[in-house]
Amino acid sequence: MTKLATIRIDGTTKAVRLEGDQHVDLGFTDLGAYFAAGSPAAPADATTYPVENADFAPVVPNPSKVICVGHNYANHIKEMGRELPDYPVLFPKFAETLIGAHDDIVKPAETEAFDWEVELTIVIGKEVRRASETEAADAIAGFTVMNDISVRDWQFRTIEWTQGKIWEATTPVGPYVVTPDEVGGVHPALQVKTIVDDQVMQDDNTGTLVFTPTFLVQYISTMITLKPGDIIATGTPAGVGNARDPKVFLVGDEVVVTSIEGLGECVNTIVKG
């Protein structure tokens, strides 16, 4: 079990494992259901699908919860003019925000401040509550890529960010969940990057996270049970459009590539709403 995905096939979805140039059907509708069942081996006679032209759904289309972390890279905290936090800054997303790794992103007509945020994202594989460090590490099924698209003019209407983070069908996540053993463990040090129309906007390393993946699982599970398929986005590095001088935002027709070393990339075209 190395790279796992949820793909769209004939009007439904399938949980699959990458093997060479094929996706092997794991026998479940999506990775959330697969993890909840204990991540069993694929059937011996499993159906396969070609990787070429695969239609990726969100890695977990309907997680019970999506929790995001703000201010978790020192460089990004500084560019936003804030102090290093003593505790993780948390806010929610919802399943309706999620789209596939290669889907178009429709810019809402209500915003003129549409921004990108590449994020290393944890996918939970086992139910856990009040986790120890060991239990937290064991609960991490793997990592994936999220572009936490932000509607900045709505986000900063108040001191609480949620209304700028929960716009429907704006958040690509995928294409694969990659198990920790493939990327150096549960505290990976991976290059993380955003490119907008061939211009590098974000370029950092996940090894510089203020709060590590296991700490985040411990901290969040203290408050609420984390279930298989739940998603935790660990924060974005410096280089967001809102922090630039002058500010730079997505207006439509751009191609945004958010990538993390060893995990893959989300490639999305911005469509004017």
pLDDT tier at 85 (50, 70, 90 boundaries)?
Answer: confident
Nearest to 12 by CA among 2, 27, 175: 27
For 24-56, what is each residue's pLDDT tens digit? 999 999 999 999 999 999 999 999 999 999 999
Q: Phi then psi for 230, rounded to 5 degrees?
A: -65, 150
pTM of the model: 0.95
Give the number of residues written for the chain: 273
Q: Both ends of the chain: CA-CA distance in Å?
A: 39
For residues 83-93, average pLDDT: 91
Inform me whether the pLDDT recorded for 75 exceeds 80. Answer: no
For residues 93-101, average pLDDT: 98
Distance CA 140, CA 180 (A): 8
Q: What percent of the chain has pLDDT over 90?
A: 92
For 221-270, what is each residue's pLDDT tens digit? 999 999 999 999 999 999 999 999 999 999 999 999 999 999 999 999 99
Distance CA 193, CA 256 (A): 11
For residues 165-172, average pLDDT: 98
- The residues, any chain, with a CB within 8 Å of residue 97's CB and separated by 6 or more, are 66, 165, 166, 167, 168, 169, 170, 171
pLDDT tier at 1 (50, 70, 90 boundaries)?
Answer: low
The architecture that CATH gives domain 60-272 is Alpha-Beta Complex (3.90)
- Per-residue pLDDT at 77: 75
User: If 0-12 CB within 10 Å is exposed, 13-18 middle and 19+ buried, where does residue 130 land?
Assistant: exposed
Distance CA 42, CA 85 (A): 43
Give the chain's radius of gyration (CA, Å).
18
